[in-house]
Amino acid sequence: MWGVFHAAGVACEGELVEKPELTAAEKRAVELISKGMESPSFQPPILPAVAHEALLISKNPDLDLRQVASIIEKDSSLAARFLSVANSALYRRGGPATSVKSALTRMGLVAARDLLIYAALEKVFVIAKPLLPTVRALGHHSLAVSSGAGYLAQYKRIDIEDASLAGLVHDLGASAVLKYISDRTSVFKDLLSNAKALCNVLWELHSVAGAKLAERWELPPPVRKVIAEHHDEELTDPLVVLIAAADELALLCKKGVEFDRPQEGALARFLDGADPDVVTDAFMMRLVDVEAL
Ligand SMILES: [Fe+2]
Ligand SMILES: [Fe+2]
């Protein structure tokens, strides 16, 4: 289900590029979408209960696996997904996992939480067919940044749970904007037929749109900060700095999406002395396992 990480459709070639000048048509689309999403009549997507429960999982030291298993078992397709991930090359140890509880034991709570959130968000952001390649590319990018953030967290003793969640949802705003466009395909038909313009519009809007949705969904404050600030020029918060580095790492490993333009040098600055090429190669090898999911 996670598929390969190769971003489809709008895959980025890996070069780090400057923020583009928007065309007049792109500026109009940005204005229309911003106004629409700020309008009192706009109904933003609701955070599914299962994602809300998942957010509480890793912060509860008393939680036992049976409680988490019971959340997953309420949805048979979700339960099947957990079993398939637990039996994939990345997690498979010995015989197959045959119950949700054994799948969870194998994956660990952080990975389980992230899979629950990823699956829940997929259901929220159901998108019209012409946008599916962009959505898939964005999903693969989010998984790569989440994995990269968890990987890089070891260099600065940053909480791996926060890192992985922040990586997973850092471009939440892009999904929100795509959903808005997808629900109004007749209004945005020019944008739907122009991948470059769509990327430019997503770039312009995704941090602000994501920050608003994250606030509404009451995501943890450190994660909200990442969503709002990960493309700011001056980065100081350690988790934001980490995600900017993971964003660049994903792009260097060609797991980027065209709309997202990480800061050049964010990875080297984060590593502060360690060789970015060595770290990128090591992460690439790890991604081979993730791609087997
Ligand atoms: Fe971004
Ligand atoms: Fe990104």
Same domain for 264 and 247: yes
Span from the CA of 147 to the centroid of ligand 2 (angstroms): 12
CATH code: domain of residue 155: 1.10.3210
* Tens-digit pLDDT profile for residues 173-193: 999 999 999 999 999 999 999
CA angle 234, 210, 143 (to 5 degrees): 90
**Residue after which a domain boundary falls, among 105, 124, 143:** 124
CA angle 202, 206, 210 (to 5 degrees): 150
Same domain for 278 and 220: yes
Same domain for 264 and 159: yes
Same domain for 210 and 93: no
Q: Which ligand is nearest to the CA of 230?
A: 1
Span from the CA of 71 to the centroid of ligand 2 (angstroms): 29
Span from the CA of 250 to the centroid of ligand 1 (angstroms): 12
Span from the CA of 96 to the centroid of ligand 1 (angstroms): 37
Same domain for 196 and 87: no
- Per the prediction, the chain carries an average pLDDT of 85
Q: Which residues contact 82 (CB under 8 A, 6 or more apart)?
A: 72, 100, 103, 104, 107, 112, 115
Q: What one-character-per-residue DSSP string does 98-118 give?
A: -SHHHHHHHH-HHHHHHHHHH
C-beta atoms surrounding 254 within 10 Å: 16
Span from the CA of 260 to the centroid of ligand 1 (angstroms): 5
Q: Which ligand is nearest to the CA of 247?
A: 2
Q: Which ligand is nearest to the CA of 173?
A: 1
For the cut 70, the answer to whether the pLDDT of residue 8 exceeds it is no
Distance CA 142, CA 178 (A): 15
Q: Give the residue from 206, 132, 126 showing the smallest Cα distance to 169.
A: 206
**Residue after which a domain boundary falls, among 98, 124, 150:** 124
Domain of residue 241 covers: 1-41+127-293
If you ran DSSP here, which 8-state letter would residue 88 be given? Answer: S
Asked if residues 284 and 253 have their Cβ atoms less than 8 Å apart, the reply is yes
Q: Who surrounds ion ligand 2 at CB < 5 A?
A: 171, 247, 260
Span from the CA of 170 to the centroid of ligand 1 (angstroms): 6
Same domain for 221 and 203: yes
Asked if residues 270 and 155 have their Cβ atoms less than 8 Å apart, the reply is yes
Helix axis angle, 132-156 to 109-124, nearest 10°:
150
* Tens-digit pLDDT profile for residues 269-283: 998 888 888 888 888
Total domains present in the chain: 2
Same domain for 221 and 80: no
Same domain for 120 and 213: no
Span from the CA of 99 to the centroid of ligand 2 (angstroms): 34
Span from the CA of 230 to the centroid of ligand 1 (angstroms): 6
Q: Which residues contact 135 (CB under 8 A, 6 or more apart)?
A: 125, 127, 175, 178
Same domain for 288 and 173: yes
If you ran DSSP here, which 8-state letter would residue 257 be given? Answer: B
Span from the CA of 40 to the centroid of ligand 2 (angstroms): 29
Q: 154 or 15: which carries more pLDDT confidence?
A: 154
Same domain for 135 and 108: no
Span from the CA of 26 to the centroid of ligand 1 (angstroms): 18
User: Among 55-59, 100-104, 247-251, whose mean pLDDT is lowest?
Assistant: 55-59
Q: Which ligand is nearest to the CA of 148?
A: 2
Asked if residues 287 and 147 have their Cβ atoms less than 8 Å apart, the reply is yes
Span from the CA of 52 to the centroid of ligand 1 (angstroms): 23
Q: Give residue 16's pLDDT band: very low, low, confident or very high (50, 70, 90).
A: very low
Span from the CA of 207 to the centroid of ligand 1 (angstroms): 7
Same domain for 26 and 63: no
Instruction: Output the pTM of the full model.
Output: 0.85
User: Among 73-82, 86-95, 104-113, 196-205, whose mean pLDDT is lowest?
Assistant: 86-95
Same domain for 265 and 175: yes
Span from the CA of 110 to the centroid of ligand 2 (angstroms): 20
**Residue after which a domain boundary falls, among 124, 155, 170:** 124
